[in-house]
Amino acid sequence: MSDPLYVGIDVGSSATKCVILAADGTLLGRHVTPSGFDYAESADKALAQALFEAEGQREDIAYCVSTGYGRGRIALADRRVTEITCHARGAREWSPGLRNIIDIGGQDTKVIRLSEEGRMSDYRMNAKCAAGTGTFLESIALKLGLTLAELDELAVRSRGETVVNSYCTVFAGTEVIERIKDGQPREEIAMGLFRSIAARVAEMMAARDGSVGATGGVVAHCRAMVRALEEVMETEVLVPPLPQHAGAYGAALLAIESARADGS
């Protein structure tokens, strides 16, 4: 038998991420794919690609932890853990001194507070709406006929301080139209949207002390998001090497720990 593999699968509302680690925590393989309609199928696809990269086989999997909204749909999983705990675990491994983690996902945003010992001491999720999430950006980009990447490209060219004040996706769309009508530069409007998310995130933070890290798909794909967070919170925001994979990475680390605890 080959060396045991430890798998983390993060089935998010937009994307499914898979990370495979060796027993010593070495990253062997990873993959990300759209979640689509069938979470089990997308997880299967992400796992197959990650295994290919890791040069491993399914029978080599020693332990698997699933996380994300679709965590309950993964038959392979030995354990299911929320994305809040997994993002905290993953980000902490990459940046041991982190005290605050911001995870901006497609469906929701979480702000996680870690204790000095690195344990999750508090967390908050956004309320039931798209405010402060990737969906907010995607919806408005779609309305403007842009992709998220194009919206980001525009935003990073901004030199002004425009903020889109509305948190509500529908009202923000109206506000954007007003600004277009008023002749505001498109770069400024685009950056204003990222600042709107950053303002929403900042509200969710109970404490501002200690270092801040950001994870999730929006952070991975949008440089403007990190810039907006830094501007609004007036602090440096650390981004781990693979921000979109932080949850899956944390899940894989928990797989190693769980396997040890189980003696498997």
Partner 1 sequence: MSTAVKRVEIHAQRKLREILQAYFLDLDAAAHDPRRRVAWCTSVGPCEILTALGFAVYFPENHGALLGARRLSQHLIPRAVGAGYCAESCSYMTSDIGSTLADSSPLRELYGIAGPPKADVLVYSTNQCREVQDWWSWYGRRGGAPVLGVCPPAHLGEVTSAHVEFVRGQLGRLIEELEGRFGRRMDYAGLEGVVDRSSRASRLWGRVLDTARARPSPLTFFDGVIHMAPVILLRGTTAAIAYYETLLAEMDARVRDGVAAVPGERFRVYWEGMPIWPKLRELSEKFFDLSTVVAASTYCNSWAFEAYDGGDPLRWMAKTSTEVFINRDENTKEAFLEEMFVRFSLDGAIFHNARTCPNNTNSRFGMPQRLRERRGMPVLVLDGDLSDARFFSAAQTLTNIEAFVEQLEERDR
> Residue 78 interacts with partner 1 (CB under 8 A)?
no
Is residue 125 a contact point for partner 1 (CB under 8 A)?
yes
| CB 216 within 8 Å of CB 134 | yes
Q: Which is nearer to partner 1, 130 or 237 (CB)?
A: 130
DSSP annotation string for 36-86 = -S-HHHHHHHHHHHHHHHHT--GGGEEEEEEESTTGGG-TT-SEE--HHHH
Residue 128 vs 159, nearer CB to partner 1:
128
Q: Cα(first)–Cα(last) distance of the chain, in Å? A: 15
Distance between CA 66 and CA 154 in Å, rounded? 36
Give the position of tokens 């295994």: 51
Site for partner 1 (CB under 8 A): which residue of 49, 95, 121, 235?
121
Binding mask 20-59 for partner 1 (x = CB under 8 A): ----------------------------------------
**18, 47, 65, 84: which one contacts partner 1 (CB under 8 A)?**
84
Site for partner 1 in 202-221 (CB under 8 A): 206
Task: Map the footprint of partner 1 across residues 223-252, applying CB under 8 A.
Answer: none
φ/ψ (deg, to 5) at 181 = -60, -35
Residue 83: phi and psi, rounded to 5, are -65, -20
What is the closest distance, in whole angstroms, from the C-beta atom of residue 186 to partner 1 in the complex?
33
Nearer to partner 1, 38 or 122 (CB): 122
CB of 239 to partner 1, least distance (A): 23
Name which position in 63, 94, 123, 249 contacts partner 1 (CB under 8 A).
123
Which CB atom, from 12 or from 240, has the smaller least distance to partner 1? 12
- Helices 246-262, 83-94: axis angle to 10 degrees equals 100
Closest CA to 220 of 11, 7, 9, 15: 15
Min separation Cβ 117 and partner 1, Å: 10
Tokens of 204: 């969710």
Q: Does residue 122 interact with partner 1 by CB under 8 A?
A: yes
120 binds partner 1 (CB under 8 A): yes
What's the gap between Cα 125 and its chain centre? 13
Instruction: Establish if 83 lies at the interface with partner 1 (CB under 8 A).
Output: yes
Q: Which of 87, 104, 206, 82 is nearest to 152 (CA)?
A: 104
DSSP 131: T
Which residues are near partner 1 by CB under 8 A?
A: 69, 72, 80-85, 107-108, 119-125, 127-128, 206
